[in-house]
Chain A
């Protein structure tokens, strides 16, 4: 059934376009277009000095209703996580991605940390990310053994740790980084702010099926050496 349907659909497309199968040359040209991707129209706001892009990333993430804490280094992340939980009256309990960069969480005195996939009862997840996109304050998260996707959606609170050096201007830069590292993972999540819905009388509500709160811990690692340490 399926191979008949395949032939039928393809033949029908070609007949409607008033042509047969594309000649080899044309197909090679299209393959080149696929295999050597080029950015299209990239907005000006996705370009500029890296320090300015980091500021834009923060501004746009907050515009999308995420919150941001900035810390000087990875060693300050566990305390930032614990403080944020306390500030929201949440128990000091997280499920964290089994990624080595987050190993420091377990060293924090008061945090109860489990590692691995998320379960429906988990209240807060901590994950790393692959990139932050300044253009819209978007975070790019990749699935893999050290980052189960359930962490991004099941808990009511999602804390994402991003290093300033991971911030890029536009989405295309994140794709270029991804291609450079090899195969595309099963899931790439571009996350912009917390989950939301307007389905009941157009009233915006956060926390529909995914997390109600999205908190970003931004490590200002780009300032060391390059910047004279303002702020």
Chain B
């Protein structure tokens, strides 16, 4: 997928004017935030679990090589295959080879962010293999030829009318005048169409929320049941997983499971948490005959040992974007690549380069809400600041911004000059503000004052007032 992250500003402007998007994001904010808050309130151990989750993932990352090799060995013991892939291209080729070996013409897919990251669908289509998304949201955006706009609710930006339109256009097998105004009717139609696909598909591809070293199991967490049908009915099950998904034991998985659904949808537990271990056993009556795990690095190993290592704790719950004022205003597509919101603004530069995503670390007010709700306690605002520093070091911001920062640094490191300058500025702005104490329009900050008045300073700097009060206090005592 071609990133348009460099055009964040333009994308965001367009998004803000989109009334339908505004409505969808409004519903999302209330829904996800309230549900999460209620679920967290119901579990007194939630904060303790967050600490445990953070410590667990930190431990895994420090010993990632070992846990991956144990996981690999256990998958093989169960008769499964493990394919290591350095990058997206290697991962795509690996999947293609498995599909070709099986003579696959159609593959069903459960929702997988890593599949989006490696742009698998487009690639398979080019090679003559039809990938069919089976998660309802993913199915809708696949028909619309769009990327997801949210990592757990990919079609959050699409209205039910737009879903009806695309279904009418695509599902020609049904009567043209059938009623499709209700979500239930749309869901039933998708269910009916996809039932056939599940059964016909030659290969089923799912992602993985976790990999378990203890048992060599892969884990998916879903609500619809599509991921389960995807991995149950075709003869071959392919799991795509990035390397940081491994945890040592089934007990460790419980810590993450207790955090995941509550942070994501506000459920106590998602409807289906499925552990898959190897292919079907000799006496099983159903299940896939082959089990492949495609382990994908694609830039993760390079994040270890850097200021961005902690980002690898992310469990893709989407709590950060659900609570982000910027995401809430512009939606996911504005971010221009696969991962939106605060986690996307940290991860995208790490995966596709800051030179291809320079505006993203600035797409934040650093209000800190994302870190406050992150189940893995990832210091997202701090990492956004690290990216801003890197962006500056690499001369990526526009000349005017750089000059302004340079001027700021120059003056801020000269205390006398700084005091004189700020005192003069406070005085000037105070006079400008007049009796109302507000400034209607500031030439240097016009976009900001276009939407609101700036409160004027009272006329003194903090240092001036402090000195004055010290003197007054001295006299009184």
Residues of chain A at the chain B interface (Cβ within 8 Å): 1-3, 5-6, 8-10, 12-14, 16-18, 21-22, 26-27, 30-31, 33-35, 37-41, 43-45, 60, 63-64, 98, 116-117, 120, 136-138, 143-145, 148-150, 152-154, 170-172, 175, 178, 184-203, 205, 207-211
Contact = CB atoms under 8 A, between A and B. Distances in A.
Among A8, A38, A185, A187, which residue has the most Cβ atoms of chain B within 10 A? A187
Nearest to A152: B228
Contacts of B70: 30-31, 34
B88 interface: no
B254 A153 contact: no
B281 A12 contact: no
Contacts of A172: 250-251, 254
Most buried by A among B86, B140, B225: B225
Interface stretch (B9-17, B272-280, B356-364, B407-415): B272-280
B274 to A, nearest CB: 5
Nearest to A205: B187
A152 B231 CA distance: 13
Interface stretch (B59-67, B337-345, B376-384, B392-400): B59-67
Interface of B: 24, 27-28, 31, 43-45, 48-49, 52, 56, 62-70, 83-86, 90, 93-94, 134-137, 140, 153-156, 158-160, 163, 183-184, 186-187, 191, 194-195, 198-199, 213-215, 217, 223-226, 228-229, 232-233, 243, 248-252, 254-255, 257-258, 265, 267-281, 283-287, 295, 297, 301-306
Contacts of B195: 120
Contacts of A201: 24, 27, 159-160, 183
A153 B229 contact: yes
A20 to B, nearest CB: 10
A187 B225 contact: no
Given A153-B232, A185-B281, A9 B287 contact: no
Contacts of B226: 208-210
A186 B274 CA distance: 10
Contacts of B45: 41, 43-44
Nearest to B285: A148
Contacts of B295: 9
A137 B297 CA distance: 36
Given A9-B84, A34-B214, A171-B254, A63 B229 contact: no
Given A30-B63, A189-B228, A202-B31, A6 B136 contact: no
A188 B186 CA distance: 31
Contact of B281 (A144, A195, A197, A211): A144
A204 to B, nearest CB: 9
A210 B254 contact: no
Contacts of A152: 228
A3 B83 CA distance: 8
Contacts of B284: 143-145, 148, 186
A16 B272 contact: no
A208 B286 contact: no
A178 B249 CA distance: 13
What are the nearest 9 A-B pairs in CB distance? A210-B225, A208-B224, A199-B137, A16-B304, A37-B249, A12-B301, A6-B84, A190-B273, A188-B275
Contacts of A143: 280-281, 284, 286-287
Contacts of B27: 201-202
Contact of A210 (B271, B275, B279): B271
A197 B223 contact: yes
B290 to A, nearest CB: 12
Contact of B305 (A17, A171, A200, A205): A17
